[in-house]
Chains A and B, each alone.
Chain A
Amino acid sequence: MRNLVIAIVCFIIAILCVVNMSFAAKAFFIIPMQGGSPNFDEIVKYQGYVLIGETKGYGMYQISGEQKDLDKIATLKNVVLLGAKTDTALKEKMSSTTVSKVDAFMKEKSIPVTVTAARDNGDVILDIAKKFEPLVKSLNDHYIQGLPEDEKQGGNK
């Protein structure tokens, strides 16, 4: 009986994982900018992007696509992943790995933003966004569509 329960739970988790994988993901990145476009230096897949702002040859982008594609983008040289654009992720504390990479980038580029693990992702990312585009008031100011089949026509401000 216990094994049956475990099997059912695993099955449900597997289903949820599969369902979740099919949904479009969105995340914030800092990427070298070439004429406004994110310059990945190689062919990568994504659904779309919006340039939030630019400074010092870099653009801050919100990029949408399959999660696996965004995961790959995050591993590319010169790309700094700031965090996922979900309510849950933005309310979480920034991981030490992310803090380390983002803080190092900000210091290297002399962009004064306090990046610590004590702050919520959303607060740090918003502060960074304001350095790239002073008119930004909210992380919902900019919007890019996800995969059409998953898009619920979410926001813009």
Chain B
Amino acid sequence: MKKLSSLLVFIFCLIPFLSDAWILRDEFTTNRAAGAIDDTAAEPTGTRDVATDTNSKLTIGSGLLTFATGGAAAGDPGLWYTQLTRVAGLTLIGEITPDGTTNASIGIGWDANQAGAQTNSLNLAADGYLQAVVNGGTAITVGSYTAASHKLGISLRATGAYYWAKLGADTSWELYWIGAADSGNNYPSYSALGTSAIATSSFIRIPNTLWLPSPLASDGFSVSGTTDGKGHAEGVAGGIGEGGGGLAWQSGGSTWSVSEGKMKNTPTVGATLWDTGADTFESGTYGWVKYRNNTVENDNGKLKITYVDYSNGAYNSLVEAGDLTEPLTIGQWYMFTADMMTTPTGQGDAFYIRDGASIVNLAGVASNTMTPYNISFRALSANGDFAYIGEMSAGDVFYIDNISLKPLTLSELVNTVQTSTQDVIATINTPTLNVTGVWEGVALNVDSATNPQNMVIGITNTYRANLTKMVNGVWTEVISGKIKWVSNAELRVIKDGTTYRVYYNNALVGTATISDASIINNTRHGLFSTASNTLDNFTLYARGTGGEYTVLDGLMNYEVPFPGGNPPAGGLTLINAGN
């Protein structure tokens, strides 16, 4: 079997030597002046179908395609090859050397037409930002580049694409982005990003060999207990790119479950910290204090807050001297629950919990009947936390009753799988319900399945997206940004060495440095959730810093096929691309 395997690899290595190993291969062998590139043969394989160059800024010489400054517009100059029928696994790889990083340079990728900006591309954008364009959407910042030679690649999925780069002196191909939109046929292409683009390219190649990466873990949550491999489209369809199934989910409790194809957590709660009597407003208004001239009163066993002159209605300090039985514990996760309603005159009101430093925990209250709301939060202070009603306006009356404040058990909030990879791209589809009181997302670099004390969580409560680290049991908020909630949007965290990036709905929320040795080398990753909102389609891919994608060298370079050895199991299939 071993000999057979070696023979197959050897055969594969020979494939690129064959003249028909490439669907497209342009090494820019013959010099061509500006205006003389359109409709010429790619060398040695393919056709330069359309070269747009109004200001004569695109030339071929000394084995390089050269973009000079002074172009007419984005995509002018630009070069488009013959259209290819989309086949999953079709991989375009090219080299680009920008003149600098100040001005927008050029993009390489796949385009739905032969003009202007590309539909799916990797762009060397202005100010040194490497950006991915997915299906013609807003460019997503995925990294940075320098004025050096870069290898860039995009592998088409049936719908969407994987975006690769081996930047400058990097020794490994890394997965920079995963797109899940566009299923059309595309033109391989180069496109100037602006009128100041200066760059060269020594080649563009598309091998006949089809390949897609296999995830470390993938779960569409069709079964409980283990990953089913169906958190990504290739896992559902089968074939190249499938994988990621069969890993055991592990948590400190038994509160995670699968239902209707989604994962949810129903953590247990401890005893309430809210004083008896104050929780059901037996008499009086207890620790609630009005803002300005608003009014607070006990209305038949409920707290009634009436707007008079300030948008914040009233507050309650979460302290033992107030309505709590004991002080909050710093770093402890809590679940605040209450029945609430409003008589909204506008958008409805909101119930906020200040965690001791910031206002990131809330529930939008729009119901006009008493309705239970849950708000989970982590205390950052033992005595600086408070709850308040906000967003009130003239005519608003707010009611609250049946309050509880209960601690959650951390080990139940984390659910992970064991891998052997530190640097990863973790993605989860966030809930289809806009429930602002629940924090959930992904957990990375977790040190223990049953007693996590070191990890990073990328979470959202549909109002904000946060990245938080825990070092030896101590939490530190690292990134916090407002988001615009979108049903089922992807929350993604990319970890590369000491750099963590958090994205929500294909937009970068923030980038930060986390260098704690107790975190960054851990290879356990998974999910985080404080309550029973649902999560779907978890995927975990290697970033590539460990050489996981050396197969791309084999695909790209006939001189150095597979320097890393065998292609990954299940990730490579030799079939004809049909073009």
> Which A residues are closer than 8 A to B by beta carbons?
33-40, 43, 47-54, 64, 133, 135-136, 140-145, 148, 151, 153-157
Contacts and interface: CB of A to CB of B under 8 A. Distances in A.
A51 B478 contact: yes
Contact of B481 (A35, A51, A53, A145): A145
A87 B508 CA distance: 20
A43 B482 contact: no
Contacts of B381: 34-35
A156 to B, nearest CB: 3
B223 interface: no
A50 B354 contact: no
Interface size bucket, B side? Answer: 35 or more
A65 to B, nearest CB: 9
Interface hub of A34, A52, A141 (most chain B Cβ within 10 A): A34
A155 B127 contact: yes
Interface string B324-362: 000000110000000000000000000000111111000
B85 interface: no
Contact of A51 (B139, B144, B477, B507): B477
Interface string B304-328: 0000000010000000000000000
B477 A156 contact: no
B479 A50 contact: yes
B513 A48 contact: no
Interface in B131-149: 131, 138-141, 143-144
Contact of B141 (A35, A40, A144, A156): A156
A153 B140 CA distance: 6
A52 B513 CA distance: 7
Interface string B502-541: 0000011111110100000000000000000000000000
Nearest to A137: B513
A36 B355 CA distance: 12
Contact of A143 (B140, B468, B484, B511): B511
Contacts of B140: 153
Contacts of A142: 510-513
Contact of A140 (B128, B475, B480, B484): B128
- The secondary structure that dominates the A interface is loop
B380 A37 contact: yes
A157 B509 CA distance: 14
Contact of B508 (A35, A37, A153): A153
B507 A155 contact: no
B359 A43 contact: yes
20 contacts: A33-B357, A35-B381, A35-B476, A35-B477, A43-B312, A49-B480, A50-B511, A52-B513, A140-B127, A140-B144, A142-B512, A143-B141, A145-B507, A148-B484, A151-B507, A153-B131, A155-B144, A155-B511, A156-B499, A157-B511
A155 B510 CA distance: 9
Given A35-B356, A38-B357, A153 B501 contact: no
B129 interface: yes
A48 B356 CA distance: 17
B138 A34 contact: no
B141 A34 contact: no
B498 interface: yes
B568 interface: no
Contacts of B357: 33-35, 37-40
Contacts of A154: 127, 129, 141
A54 to B, nearest CB: 8
B547 interface: no
Contact of B143 (A38, A50, A156): A156
A131 to B, nearest CB: 14
A141 B513 contact: yes
Interface in B234-258: none
B331 to A, nearest CB: 7
A136 B513 contact: yes
| Residue among B129, B378, B468, B513 with max Cβ neighbours from chain A (10 Å) | B513
A87 B480 CA distance: 23
A155 B139 CA distance: 11
Nearest to A54: B476
Contact of B139 (A40, A43, A53, A153): A153
A48 B358 CA distance: 11
